[in-house]
Amino acid sequence: MARLQVALDLIDLERALRVASRVAEACEHAFLLLEAGTPLIKAHGMEAVRKLSSFFSDIPVVADMKTADVGGLEAELAISSGAAYTTVLALASDETVRASVEAAHRLGGKVMADLMLVADPVKRARELAALGVDAVCYHVPIDVQRGGGPDLGAVATAVKSLKSAVNIEVAVAGGISAAVAGVLAGAGADILVVGRAVYAAPDPGAAAREILERARLAGARP
CB atoms within 10 A of CB 100: 33
Write down all domains in the chain, each with its CATH number in brackets.
3-220 (3.20.20.70)
Q: To 10 degrees, what angle do helices 152-165 and 178-186 make?
A: 30
84: which DSSP letter? Answer: S
CB atoms within 10 A of CB 106: 12
9-43 pLDDT, tens digit per residue, is 999 999 999 999 999 999 999 999 999 999 999 99
CA distance 89 to 143: 17
Q: Give me the pLDDT at residue 148, please.
A: 74
Q: Give me the pLDDT at residue 64, please.
A: 98
Answer for the pair 195, 37: CB distance below 8 angstroms, yes or no.
Answer: yes
Burial track 9-37 (b if 16+ CB lie within 10 A, e otherwise): bbeebeebbebbebbbebbeeebbbbbbb
Positions of the chain with pLDDT under 50: 222
CA distance 153 to 22: 31
- 207: Cα separation from own chain's centroid: 17
Q: Give me the pLDDT at residue 29, please.
A: 98
pTM metric for this prediction: 0.96
Q: Give me the pLDDT at residue 220, please.
A: 58
Q: Give me the pLDDT at residue 221, please.
A: 55
Burial track 119-157 (b if 16+ CB lie within 10 A, e otherwise): eebbebbebbbebbbbbbbbbbeeeeeeeeebeeeebbe
Rounded to the nearest 10°, the torsion over CA 218, 128, 174, 189 is 0
Q: Give me the pLDDT at residue 104, please.
A: 99
Q: Give me the pLDDT at residue 144, please.
A: 82
CA distance 184 to 172: 8
